[in-house]
Each structure stands twice: as structure tokens, then as C-alpha cells.
Amino acid sequence: MIESVEEFIRLRFSNDPEEYGRASSDSADPAVWRDIITRYPESRFWVAHNKTVPLEILRVLANDPDPKVRSMVASKRKLTPDLLTALAADSDESVRLAVARHKRAPRGVLEQLCADTWEEVRDVARDRLDRSG
């Protein structure tokens, strides 16, 4: 378990593959994640990348100003339908594309994305709907 902001930063930026691997797989208390988000905004992507980051932190990061962070959030398996719906309306096409590719994207969200302004998003959403029957 990651016990502090400092430990996460040290692990994430370590040259040791085992250590930076822990930054993406070890859990932390939600207070630690919130502290990282506040004190180290350049590390928000890596918080979203963590496999154990709780949904409450993903909800915060879903509104991050950086589209790379929001796109990472949109690719997380544990997202709820309401978060996928919100991210499907994101201003950045990479975020909407991640939602279109998401295995748990609700049918209504995929239908919405079939009318997206970006052709690639439309194509992925249509393909997913065609395959689901």
C-alpha cells in the first residue's frame, strides 16, 4: 500500500521497474490520492493510471482540465454508466473515443456517439453497436 504522497512520487519516478510498477498497481487511501492531485497536478495522469484508484477519485479526475487525464479516466473498467455518459459529452475527441471503445459503455451512450463530430468516434460506436446486435 502506498502510504504517502512522497512515496507515490518516489515510486512513480523511480528508474527501478519494480518500483514504478507499484505506482500503477498498489492501493492508497483516498486522502493520499486527493493530496497527490492537489500537490502534484503533473501526476494526475498517473493517479488515473493506477489500477486500484477508487471511483471517488476517478469522479474528480473526470473533470480534470487535462484531456489526457480525462481520457485515461474514460478507459477505466470500473466506470459507472453515469460517468461514461458524462465523458461521452466531453469536448475532447480522445476522451469520447475512449468512451466509444469502453467495454461497458451503455447502448444509449454508443448511440449518442454515432452522431459525434469526429468520424473515428462515430465509426467505433457504430461498430460496437453492430457487433452487439
Cβ(93)–Cβ(121) below 8 Å? yes
pLDDT category at 18 given cuts 50, 70, 90 is very high
Q: What predicted TM-score, i.e. pTM, was given to this entire model?
A: 0.95
Give yes or no for a contact between 36 and 4, defined as CB atoms under 8 angstroms apart: no
In the chain, where the domains are located: 1-61, 78-133
Report residue 132's pLDDT band, with 50, 70 and 90 as the boundaries: confident
Q: Which residues of 14-29 are buried (b: 16+ CB within 10 A; e: fewer)?
A: eeeeeebebbeebebe
Average pLDDT over residues 90-114: 98
Average pLDDT across the chain, whole number: 97
Span 15-35, average pLDDT: 97
Cell of residue 26, nine digits:
498498489
For residues 28 and 30, give the distance between their C-alpha atoms in angstroms, rounded to a whole number: 6
Could you tell me if 29 and 56 are in contact, meaning their C-beta atoms sit under 8 angstroms apart?
Answer: no
CB atoms within 10 A of CB 95: 24
pLDDT at residue 133, as a whole number: 74
Q: How far apart are the first and last CA of the chain?
A: 42
Mean of pLDDT values over 47-51: 98
Listed in sequence order, the residues at least 6 apart from 43 whose beta carbon sits closer than 8 Å to its beta carbon are: 8, 9, 12, 36, 37
From the number of C-beta atoms within 10 Å of its C-beta (0-12, 13-18, 19+), residue 5 rates as buried
- pLDDT of residue 68 exceeding 80, the answer is yes
Evaluate if residue 5 carries a pLDDT over 90. Answer: yes
Using a pLDDT cut of 90, give the percent of the chain over it: 98
